[in-house]
């Protein structure tokens, strides 16, 4: 049977979130944020819950979106956008940490920022690459590391959202695939 005679699959393969660079980065951000909050924020500070939940939401919505990809491109797109919004909220929390403490925020061209970006750009990035820095440096340094990683994750998610939008416009969702499949059977 040639490719033309082979029926189109209604449900494409589900996305593997672990292969997504956006997920890998979001997982590092979650681990970093968890440890940041333990080290630098007072346990009674409600910001801890907000920051950890925003980091978790970023990571978990990427997972959920990837799993929904087989049945709903619309849901995948919405959840990926929720992940992006959660990480933007977290970014603002780190900016607040630096601002209220009158701590220096690294310029994007600062040597430190370039080092973190280079480290964060490695394929298969994990928290272990940052563990020593996160667990030994002062709060403002760790907050700046988080900001660099958040900017990278947000960039990746912006690109992912653009690709998902283009894919949806080109291929449609499951309803369109089902209609095309039914029309193909009738012809």
Average of per-residue pLDDT across 79-91 = 97
Average pLDDT value for the chain: 88
Chain segment 42-58, per-residue pLDDT in tens:
999 999 999 999 999 99
Chain segment 97-123, per-residue pLDDT in tens:
999 999 999 999 999 999 999 999 998
Provide the token pair at 176.
Answer: 């369109």
Specify the DSSP class assigned to residue 6. Answer: S
* Rounded Cα gap, residues 170 and 148, in angstroms: 33
Chain segment 137-165, per-residue pLDDT in tens:
999 999 999 999 999 999 999 999 999 88
* Rounded Cα gap, residues 6 and 31, in angstroms: 45
- What pLDDT is recorded for position 171? 74
Provide the token pair at 142.
Answer: 């760790």
* Rounded Cα gap, residues 175 and 5, in angstroms: 21
Find all residues with CB under 8 Å of 133, minimum gap 6, and list them.
141, 142, 145
């Amino acid at each position: 049977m040639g490719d033309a005679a082979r029926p189109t699959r209604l449900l494409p393969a589900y996305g593997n979130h672990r292969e997504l660079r956006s997920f890998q980065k979001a997982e590092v951000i979650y681990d970093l944020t968890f440890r940041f909050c333990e080290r630098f924020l007072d346990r009674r500070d409600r910001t801890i819950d907000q920051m950890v939940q925003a980091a978790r939401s970023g990571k978990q919505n990427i997972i959920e979106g990837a799993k929904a990809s087989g049945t709903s491109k619309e849901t995948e797109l919405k959840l990926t956008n929720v992940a992006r919004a959660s990480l933007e909220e977290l970014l603002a929390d780190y900016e607040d940490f630096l601002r209220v403490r009158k701590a220096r925020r690294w310029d994007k061209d600062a040597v430190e920022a370039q080092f973190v970006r280079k480290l964060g750009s490695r394929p298969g990035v994990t928290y272990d690459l940052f563990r020593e820095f996160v667990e030994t440096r002062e709060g403002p340094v760790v907050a700046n590391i988080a900001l660099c990683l958040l900017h990278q994750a947000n960039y990746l998610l912006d690109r992912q959202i653009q690709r998902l939008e283009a894919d949806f416009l080109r291929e449609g969702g499951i309803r369109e695939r089902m209609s095309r499949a039914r029309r193909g059977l009738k012809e």
